[in-house]
Structure 1
Amino acid sequence: MPEMRSGWEAALAEATSSSWTHRVRAGQDLARFAEVPEAAEALLGLLLDTEDTAVTRQTAEALTRVGTVAAVRLIALAIAEADDNQADWLQTGVHDAVVEPGHRQDIAAACRKLARTPEEAVRRGVADLSAWTSG
């Protein structure tokens, strides 16, 4: 178990790297740890990366592929906070993942669960995310 811990801790350090490629890798590596508070905080920052749209797109894609409620919640929060440009890249990343079989159903199920959350920002983001993935 220590190996896994050090793996996600290394990814956590990369999340704040000045290199966009390191931040992309961090988003991909941290996506499966979306339920861990430290990873979730870093992932939200990567989804809303202000320096490179590739980081936003690839992190959204990785979280969509994971498809858990925790992962989808982070995408929804990012959508609620995103400016128009970031929202476009979040949508592109989500689309890149849902074109593969199975991912659309995972996202739809997670969105149904999150639609009842008390967090207004999550509900707002889920509404957009559901619209993006319903087609």
Structure 2
Amino acid sequence: MTSGLGAALAGASSPLWARRARAGRDLASFAEVPEAAEALLGLLLDAEDTAVARQTAEALAWVGMVAAVRLIALAIAEVDDNQADWLQAGVHDALVDSGGGLGVAAVCGELARDPEEAVRRGAADISAWVVGKGF
């Protein structure tokens, strides 16, 4: 395990919200690594501070790979409407900054065929966010 990945994984369990948010940003590019994916899902579901969830969702949407967007989709299936709004805000922030709406929409198209129902539903929600904002 690289030292950057190890440090980010340690930060994901920090009692400090800013450190957890930083971990979400740092771990996003490692979304395909099982340990990172588990930590990222926990950060997306962070009940302590919505900034952690928002910044993690933004980082994952920015990365835009299937594994990253899949984690957002999984989180959507587990959160209430308020938390979903923060995840949506994070995705929106990434798309505004990157212009990657078409890429995220394409990934959601792939995830629409995922064997897991929760992923398919979450991907449909993300796709609606992307289309609804005109990306």
Question: Quick check: TM above 0.5?
Answer: yes
User: Does residue 66 in structure 1 map to residue 63 in structure 2?
Assistant: yes
Any idea what the Cα deviations from partners look like across 1:48-92, whole Å, max 9, x if unmatched?
Answer: 100000001000000000000000000000111111111010000
Q: Secondary structure at the match of 1:81?
A: coil
1:105 and 1:9 map into 2 onto residues whose CA distance is: 32
Structure 2: gaps of 5 or more residues: none
AA aligned to 2:8 is A
Structure 1: gaps of 5 or more residues: none
- Superposed structure 1 runs of 4+ greater than 2 Å apart: none
Any idea what the Cα deviations from partners look like across 1:74-114, whole Å, max 9, x if unmatched?
Answer: 00001111111110100000000111344101101110111
2:89 and 2:129 map into 1 onto residues whose CA distance is: 9
Structure 1 counterpart of 2:76 = 79
Q: Secondary structure at the match of 2:7?
A: helix
1:116 corresponds to which of 113, 125, 134: 113
1:34 and 1:120 map into 2 onto residues whose CA distance is: 20
**2:77–2:121 contact (8 Å) kept in structure 1:** yes
How many residues align? The count is: 132
1:64 and 1:72 map into 2 onto residues whose CA distance is: 6
RMSD, aligned CA:
1.0
